[in-house]
Amino acid sequence: MPDSSNALVLFSGGQDSTTCLFWALAPDGGAFDHVEAVAFRYGQRHAVEIEQARAIAEAAGVPLTVLDLTGLLSGSALLADEAADTNDAHALAPDLPASFVPGRNALFLTAAASLGFTRGIADLVGGMCQTDYSGYPDCRLDFVESQAQTLSLALDTDLRIHTPLMHLTKAETWKLAADLGTVRGLDVLETVREMSHTDYHGDRTQRHAWGYGRLDNPASVLRAKGHAEAVAKGWVPDVDLP
């Protein structure tokens, strides 16, 4: 039977999933006794995502599994074989951004649930958020709840999907990282700032108070604006870069 004190975090190495990883570990967060992480190689443009996920998981002492789903997803500007600009509208759904990856979270949650089942884990943790997100329909709470019900039926178990960021703005996500304090000997806020990667270009040459990237794509813009708001509200300290 699955152990409710164990959790599997869907982990991209980005700001949101990194915050969720430490939430799962923290006594004031998910407080799970045993936490593992799973990352996905799905044909994304940049290997830096997997590299940062590995580095963060290693620093936190969390076992990381990387599943190769390359070729199973298509139709997104985030994929290496697509030429679309991430600032454009989606070619097949103009109300969605070009960065939308059709079916990505459905596939990821299914793969994570399957992996978790083999390891006695029925608690999944994901960084989905419907408050401050890019318009992705598979980040909405009703989708996540329906997926949890479907996977519970598919696996004949009580599978739970935890989404600690679901109702938070990006500024509040920064606040959560700060509030988590030190976990596994790591300052969570500094780990998110210095090690997580969100930028769609995979650029880790330009360092800012909010992390690494270029302010010419929606992911970095949202992250930077959220950080600026969190600083203005006194939730996180400002940083003087050398």
Tokens representing 84 are 């679309």
Helix axis angle for 48-60 and 15-25, nearest 10°, is 20
pTM given for the model: 0.93
Q: Give the distance, in angstroms, between the CA of residue 79 and the centroid of all CA atoms in the same chain.
A: 17
Residue-wise pLDDT tens for the chain (242 aa)?
Answer: 565 799 999 999 999 999 999 999 999 899 999 999 999 998 887 889 899 999 999 999 999 999 999 988 877 766 766 566 666 777 666 777 767 778 889 999 999 999 999 999 999 999 999 886 567 888 899 999 999 999 999 999 999 999 999 999 999 999 999 999 999 999 999 999 999 999 988 889 999 999 999 998 888 999 999 999 999 999 999 887 76
d(CA 203, CA 182) in angstroms, rounded, equals: 27
The C-alpha torsion from 189 through 193 and 196 to 200, rounded to 10°, is 140
CATH class of 6-232: alpha beta
Strands 186-187 and 182-183, sheet pairing: antiparallel
- Residue ranges per structural domain of the chain: 6-232
